[in-house]
Every structure is written in structure tokens, then in C-alpha cells.
Amino acid sequence: MGDALLVRVYGRRTELLVDRETELRNFQVLRAHGCAPDLYCAFQNGLCYQFLPGTALGPEHVRDPHIFRLVAREMARVHAIHANGSLPRPILWQKLHKYLSLVKTELSPKVSNPSLPQDVPGPAALQQELAWMQETLSQLGSPVVLCHNDLLCKNIIYDSARERVRFIDYEYTGYNYQAFDIGNHFNEFAGVKEVDYGLYPSKEMQLQWLHSYLQAYKELTQGHPGDTQVSEEELETLYVQVNKFSLASHFLWACWGLIQDKYSTIDFNFLRYAKLRFKQYFKMKPVVAALQVPK
């Protein structure tokens, strides 16, 4: 296994969802900062890179305090890249608008009114939700940082020999709201194959996770290792931002699921997954809309 390397071939029509040039650029940026494996070559429909030894995490691992502190600190390392200087715009709104327009056009080739599957909200309703999110979430003051944007359990590799975690798969990596990356990861506590939102982390668990994250992030961006204090107010603010942004994550992957359902050759029920994500979005919307950032 010392000589193992990994060859990845892109899925069918994934260029609709993923900008491959951006993926490559982000891979190289992460590599330069010690947050990604060595990249050996890229070809027209794939990549070849260093194999990282370790365990791909499952929902049982990401709630283990020992491991989740490592995950929080590693996310802070990624978020601290280029944290100084001018930052580009967050990728979120452009991505959501793109996916939604794909849902509307690609899924209804020659029809004037797109026919979405039963119990998926119609295009006008989805457009309205997106407008509401953009209006609400962009005002929360969440910093824009370099985000992984797809931290599901299996994209986190735990190396017990070195006592560290590494993130893999940078297809969705890009500048985004800090709270989106964290909220998206918390949604992934529910798993992918057998989704169970009862596993979404409790407030107590989130605060422990966020405390580890903020401590590491402040050390890395303010340059005083060891003496960084995290205030109750900072913690509560991040908690509120994260739980509000978790809605955008449900919405994004629900739209993604509808597109994958049409094109993917992978044996996975993308439509069922999309419906689950929409269901959770509408269930959580009133709950998180009521949360207030401390004044």
C-alpha cells in the first residue's frame, strides 16, 4: 500500500454540476497548504493522486468527541487559507441559481411548464425559497472563506497512526460562507445511504464542536497560539449562523439530487434523496428562522 495511488474517473454529465478547472485549481491550493494529497496528473475525464491511508469516517465517528475535534481543527486549517487580503464572492448563490435553472430546463426539455416529480415543490415555489434564503442568509455576516462544501463522512479520512484527519474530494471546494461549510457537515451527521436526521448534532454537541473550531481558527488567523479565548457571544453567533445556513445545504443537495437522478449511472436512489432533503428543509425552516443572532 506504500505505493498505492488513486485514479478517479468523472461521473457521467457531472460537468453540469462541477467545474473541473476550478476543482483542479483548488486541489493545488489545498496541496500547497498541506491540506490535500499530492496530485500526480489530470486527464480529460479524471485525476490521479496520492492515496491517503486511514479510515473513511461514518456517522458513528463524526459524533465521537475525540474525532470531531480533529475534524473541527482541520476545517479551521482549510478556512484559514488566504484568510488575509481580498476575498472573492461566495460561490453559494451562483451555484444554487445554476442548479435551480438546470432543474427547470434540463428536466423539462420540450415543455413550457416543467414537470417535476410528485411531492417535489414546483419551480416557482423553489425560486421563491431561493430568493428568501439569499435575502436572509446573506445578511448574517458569516465570513467568506475557502470551504470544502461537501464534508460528508466518507470525505474525511482518519489516520489513527498520525492522529489526524484529512479531507478528500474537492469537486465542490470554493469560497463560501464559513457557516455553510459547518452547517453542511452537521447535516451529514445523518448519513447518506440510510439518512436519519435524528442524528443531527444536539446544541450541546454543536457548541463543543464550534468551540474547538473557533479556537483553532482564531489561532491560525490571529497568530497567537495558545492564548485565544472564545467568548460565549461568538459561540452563540456561530451556532445561529450555522443552523440557518444548514437550510441552504438541504436545498442545494436536493436540487443536485434531482439533476443526478436524470443523468447519473451510479446505483443510488437520487430522487428519494432529493425528496428527503426538501422535506428536511421545509421541516427545519421555521425552527431555524426563529433563531436570533445575539445583539
All structural domains of the chain: 53-290 (3.90.1200.10)
How far apart CA 254 and CA 232 sit, in angstroms, is: 34
Chain CA centroid to CA 120, Å: 22
pLDDT digits (tens, 9 = 90+) for 23-35: 999 999 999 999 9
Q: What is the mean pLDDT of residues 268-285?
A: 97
Give the pLDDT score at 40: 96
The whole-angstrom separation of Cα 116 and Cα 184 is 25
pLDDT band, residue 157 (cuts 50/70/90): very high
Provide the whole-model pTM. 0.95
Looking at the chain, the whole-number percentage of residues with pLDDT higher than 90 is 86
Cα–Cα distance list, 20 to 29, 39, 155, 223, 248 (Å): 14, 14, 18, 34, 23
Average pLDDT over every residue of 149-163: 97
Mean pLDDT, residues 130-148? 97
Coil, strand or helix at 285: helix
Q: What is the pLDDT of residues 2-22, one digit of tens each?
A: 789 999 999 999 999 999 999
Which of 17-31, 96-110, 225-239, 264-278 has the lowest average pLDDT?
96-110
In this prediction, residue 85 carries a pLDDT of: 65
Give dist(CA 81, CA 170) in Å, integer.
15
Residues of 185-220 as b/e, b for ≥16 C-beta within 10 angstroms? bbbbbbbeeebeeebbbeeeebbbbbbbbbbbbbbb
Residue 224 has pLDDT above 90, yes or no: no
pLDDT reported for residue 108: 65
Distance separating the N- and C-terminal Cα atoms of the chain: 53
What is the mean pLDDT of the segment spanning 135-153?
A: 97
Q: What is the mean pLDDT of residues 235-240?
A: 98
Q: How is residue 69 written as a grid cell?
A: 475535534
pLDDT at 110 exceeding the cut of 60 = no
